[in-house]
């Protein structure tokens, strides 16, 4: 039995792919799981690497990566799991959706046992997995949207920036990302976000790099008294900055 869910999320495919395949961050956005680790000392996903995941309801499954092609496709097959499943496989696909966004598609294929009860068991399993997958898609969309909002939310006071001197801006900046809706993303955790700021070859311009978002160029706005970056698409235009 096959089924799939998809959604368009904020962020380019490489960033979205990296987030979803990083097991150190998996529980910060995935509401389906309460445990997610790589097996046998693996530190990164790759073909042949095995992962162990446990759902919120306590169902555990070991999977093995059969495809890993950043930033387009990651696919796994079940190597050990609940007895009711004879086989289980899943593929996550990432396609550019324009304007720095990504269409994420989750595809699953499962087969239940015993075969005499396969139809009702597969129907129930499909309903359960489909519901959890929809919540997973919504949670991924929300955490990526929140990541953009953190950067594009306006001037933020930063007392360390004493003036418009660009020498005061570069460095590593840290802040707090707070979960706002745990009903949509119950696995979400408040976390510290890190922004790395470096000088660029353009005079008076600094570049900020943020995980899940990408790179933004900042210049000092004398009128507003802050470092600003402008981000625009056909749907909206926003400015962000750090005040002095």
Residues 106 and 181 occupy one common structural domain: no
Backbone phi, psi, residue 16, to 5° = -65, -45
Residues 103 and 36 occupy one common structural domain: yes
What average pLDDT score do residues 121-129 get?
70
What average pLDDT score do residues 184-204 get?
73
Q: How sure is the predictor about 58, in pLDDT bands with cuts at 50, 70 and 90? A: very high
For 133, which DSSP code?
H
Domain's final residue, options 88, 121, 149: 149
Count the domains in the chain.
2
Residues 171 and 82 occupy one common structural domain: no
Residues 7 and 62 occupy one common structural domain: yes
More confident position, 34 or 208: 34
Q: How sure is the predictor about 120, in pLDDT bands with cuts at 50, 70 and 90? A: confident
Tell me the residue length of the chain. Answer: 244
Residues 27 and 55 occupy one common structural domain: yes
User: What does the block give as tokens for 76?
Assistant: 């796994």
Res 60 pLDDT > 90:
yes
User: What does the block give as tokens for 129?
Assistant: 């997995």
Percent of the chain exceeding pLDDT 90 equals 29
Residues 64 and 143 occupy one common structural domain: yes
Element (H, E) at 138: helix 118-151
Q: How sure is the predictor about 51, in pLDDT bands with cuts at 50, 70 and 90? A: very high
List CB contacts of 113: < 8 A, sequence separation 6 or more. 83, 84, 85, 86, 121
Is cis: bond before 114, omega within 30 of 0?
yes
Domain holding 50: CATH number?
3.30.530.20
Residues 13 and 111 occupy one common structural domain: yes
Range of the domain at 232: 153-243
What average pLDDT score do residues 99-112 get?
88
Residues 42 and 14 occupy one common structural domain: yes
Burial class (CB in 10 A: 0-12, 13-18, 19+), 111: middle
Give the per-residue pLDDT at 128: 67
Most confident region among 96-110, 149-163, 183-197 by mean pLDDT: 96-110
Residues 34 and 134 occupy one common structural domain: yes
Give the per-residue pLDDT at 218: 78
Domain's final residue, options 100, 134, 149: 149
Residues 15 and 29 occupy one common structural domain: yes
Q: Which of 18-27, 43-52, 72-81, 198-207 has the lowest mean pLDDT?
A: 198-207
Tell me the HSE value of 38 on the side-chain side, using a 13 A CA sphere.
Answer: 16
Residues 75 and 48 occupy one common structural domain: yes
Residues 131 and 158 occupy one common structural domain: no
Element (H, E) at 124: helix 118-151
Domain's final residue, options 149, 167, 194: 149
Radius of gyration of the chain (CA): 21
Using alpha carbons, list the distances in angstroms from residue 212 to 23, 32, 40. 15, 20, 28
């Amino acid at each position: 039995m096959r089924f799939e869910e998809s959604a368009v999320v904020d962020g380019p495919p490489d960033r979205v792919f990296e987030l979803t395949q990083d097991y150190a961050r998996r529980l910060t956005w995935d509401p389906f799981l309460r445990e997610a680790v790589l097996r046998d000392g693996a530190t990164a996903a790759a073909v042949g690497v095995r992962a162990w995941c446990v759902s919120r309801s306590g169902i555990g499954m070991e999977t093995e990566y059969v495809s890993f092609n950043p930033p387009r496709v990651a696919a796994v097959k079940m190597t050990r799991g609940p007895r009711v499943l004879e086989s289980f496989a899943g593929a996550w696909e990432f396609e550019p959706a324009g304007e720095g966004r990504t269409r994420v598609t989750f595809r699953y294929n499962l087969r239940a046992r015993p075969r005499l009860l396969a139809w009702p068991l597969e129907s129930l399993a499909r309903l359960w997995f489909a519901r959890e997958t929809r919540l997973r898609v919504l949670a991924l969309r929300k955490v990526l949207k929140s990541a953009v909002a953190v950067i594009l939310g306006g001037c933020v006071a930063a007392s360390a920036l004493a003036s418009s001197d660009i020498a005061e801006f570069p460095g590593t900046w840290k802040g707090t990302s707070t979960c706002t809706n745990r009903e949509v993303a119950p696995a979400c955790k408040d976390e510290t976000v890190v922004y790395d700021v470096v000088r660029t070859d353009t005079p008076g311009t600094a570049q900020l790099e943020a995980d899940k978002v990408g790179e933004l160029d900042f210049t000092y706005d004398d009128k507003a008294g802050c470092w600003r970056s402008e981000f625009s698409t056909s749907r909206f235009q926003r400015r962000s900055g750090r005040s002095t």
